[in-house]
Chains A and B, each alone.
Chain A
Amino acid sequence: MKLEDLSIPPIVYDLLRNRRFLIGISLFIFIVCFSLVGGLIYTRNPFDMSGPPEQPPSAEYPLGTDRMGRDILAQLIWGTRYSLYVGVLVALIAMPIGVVIGAIAGVKGGIIDELLMGLTNIVLSIPSILLAILIAATLPTGMRTYEIVALVIGVTSWPWLARAIRAQMMSLREREFVYLSRMAGYSDVRIAFADLLPNIATYVFMAFVLFVNGGILGEAGLSLIGVGPSRGITLGVILYWAATMEAVRRGLWWWFAPAGAMIVLATSSLMIVTTAVDEVFNPRLRKQ
């Protein structure tokens, strides 16, 4: 990936003209607004019994109510907000770990590279969802806040990025501009972060988005198995309630369908954005 292109305005312009990018980003902004502003307009509390149980969607309850008479639209608004929150936290935790480990391994080489990659490969071999379930299952119920759940997912999901960053660094470090920096006597750390990292900026952006997606999906998975945020509400928690209270068997489609659809919508919109960014910035994918 040649990313020296990053500073050239026409490319950014290309991005803004890319239809896929615009669709993805508008969809995502819409979802963010829905979750942030929705709660101000639609003021029902997602935990309150605000009506009779098992009401199908109606004018009074746009998405119906669950078995305990709680309003599903309110749950969806707040669930989306906290699912996004967990997703972004996961990205903020996992990305620095992956970038730093990958950058150090790629630039330093030698024994440090061997050690860091050994660690990375070991964590990579243990499926992150299994590791996260295991850690979350051993936490006391009261400790499973949004932040702790994000931490658990974050510390188990960085290895693939470390590997990718290392590979990028290895291919970049033999370039001339790196030799020049070396000759100027700059330290390895400065070379890694000032010369090499800007070259993989879009890559890192894409990784961030993938981590947000991984965080949203990971949280939903943990919640479904019963080890998600214990006192909060996320899209995963809604699905967990629906699953444990037999929403499917009782035919309450308005309970489980919107939460899953929101997960798919949020994560796909971000995926569409990354594919579009890749298509615009990656010369090998660009149309001739």
Chain B
Amino acid sequence: MIPKSLLKYLVLRLTFLFVTYIVALTIIFILLRLVPTNPVDRLITQLLQFNPNMTPEQIREYMKAYYELFGLDKPLWMQYLTYLFKAFTGDLGYSYINVGRKVSDIIMSALPWTLFLVVPATLAAWFVGNAIGAYAGYKRGSLFEKTVLTLSLVLSQTPYYWLAMLLLYAFAYRLNVFPPGQAYPPTMVPNLSLQFILAVLYHYILPFLSIFIAGLGGWAIGMRVLTIYELGSDHIQFAEALGAKESVLFKYMFRNSMIPQVTGLALSLGGAVGGALLTEIVFSYPGMGYILNRAIIQTDYPVVQGVFVILIATLFIANFVVDFVYALIDPRIRIGGEKI
């Protein structure tokens, strides 16, 4: 059975995320409506170039159909309400550029690639970074600690996409050991054959590494400080005075220091996704960043809007999952009492 305090905490978090999601959707809507673009005029111009003999009658009909397709024929407040409602159902309208193509289809072809890249790379960086940081903090003053600290400081400031460029240059163009970008060979059609999966993994290594390596440093730095704080705490010194083994001490310390890092994971996901978007551009990896980049250049605003709506929704779901895990591991919430 779920304890009452845990339930209350989760309901509160869910309400907060729901309200925030609506605020975020509103911001996206307002910002993108401030841009003076008229997709219909552009499309009509294109049509006229293609078929100069259109009668004014036909043009008017086309215009009407386009306005209806993009939902621009309704007043602004109704556009807003429809958009809000549809954002929850996953209907994100139609692309301005690829006429007739649903934004949700475009995004669904990209989102799995981004998740496939961000989730494992971020989690791996989190685990490894924390382990290294904890050990460095534990071995205070050693050469290991100093090396880890300096390296982590540099890594934590390394932009993902620059590391991506370096890796791409070194391993794909110089050494020719990895493919130069994209998610799979252009000659292949996505399927579930072993050959295709191997090709995907082969293309996956460099983008994965650039996110993994660039992510390590920040976690190691944070964990080192937390460990040092924890080592100075009463319960560790008490255990030490009792003569507890080093492995036991390390375990006590590690478990307590991890709690803030779980919340940190939730907070950093946004940054990780942002970094991954840029990395995708460097690798021409067919994820959300690639699509967003193209949509911004083409001023395809429904796609830009859709990318943000889906990314923020995904992040909020991830946040909620992390909150849930946090509640499970933190006894202050699991058993009751105030969250600090």
Contact = CB atoms under 8 A, between A and B. Distances in A.
A129 B162 contact: no
B158 A264 contact: yes
14 contacts: A121-B16, A122-B24, A125-B316, A129-B271, A130-B311, A134-B31, A221-B278, A239-B159, A239-B161, A243-B281, A248-B282, A264-B158, A284-B229, A284-B232
Given A128-B270, A134-B31, A225-B292, A268 B153 contact: yes
B277 interface: yes
Contacts of B163: 260
A256 interface: yes
Given A127-B273, A271-B153, A287-B140, 6 more contacts: A121-B20, A130-B273, A134-B28, A138-B34, A221-B275, A271-B157
Contacts of B269: 127
A99 to B, nearest CB: 20
B124 to A, nearest CB: 20
Contact of A248 (B156, B168, B316): B168
B113 to A, nearest CB: 17
Interface in B10-26: 16-17, 19-20, 23-24
Contacts of A217: 157, 159
Nearest to B16: A121
A126 interface: yes
Interface in B122-168: 140-141, 149-150, 153-154, 156-159, 161-163, 165-166, 168
Contacts of A256: 162, 165, 169
Contacts of A86: none
Interface in B263-305: 267, 269-271, 273-275, 277-278, 281-282, 289, 292-293, 296-297, 304
B31 A126 contact: no
B239 interface: no
Given A138-B34, A225-B293, A227-B296, A126 B312 contact: yes
B179 to A, nearest CB: 12
Contacts of A125: 17, 20, 24, 315-316, 319
Contact-residue bracket for chain B:
35 or more
A271 B156 contact: yes
A127 B267 CA distance: 8
Given A221-B274, A264-B157, A249 B296 contact: no
Q: How would you classify the secondary structure of chain A's contact residues: helix, strand, loop or mixed?
A: helix
Contact of B274 (A129, A242, A253, A272): A129
A226 B173 contact: no
Contact of A221 (B159, B292, B308): B159
Interface in A223-247: 224-227, 239, 242-243, 247
A225 B32 contact: no
Contact of A130 (B232, B274, B281): B274
Interface string A108-136: 00000000000001101111111101110
Nearest to B37: A138
State which size class the interface on A falls in: 35 or more
Given A217-B157, A225-B292, A260-B166, A134 B34 contact: no
B39 interface: no
A224 B271 contact: no
Interface string B172-185: 01100000100000
B256 to A, nearest CB: 15
Given A135-B31, A221-B274, A126 B20 contact: yes
A138 B32 contact: yes
Contact of A226 (B35, B154, B296, B319): B296
A226 B169 contact: no
Contacts of B174: 251
Given A130-B312, A134-B31, A138-B32, A251 B169 contact: yes
Nearest to A282: B225
A130 B308 contact: yes
A124 B312 CA distance: 12
A263 B282 CA distance: 17
Most chain A CB within a 10 A radius of its CB, from B20, B221, B289? B20
A210 B278 CA distance: 21
A122 B156 contact: no
B162 A239 contact: yes
A134 B319 CA distance: 21
Contacts of A121: 16, 20
B331 to A, nearest CB: 21
Given A138-B31, A217-B159, A287-B141, A242 B165 contact: yes
Contacts of B319: 125
Nearest to B33: A138
A280 B170 CA distance: 40
A251 B278 CA distance: 20
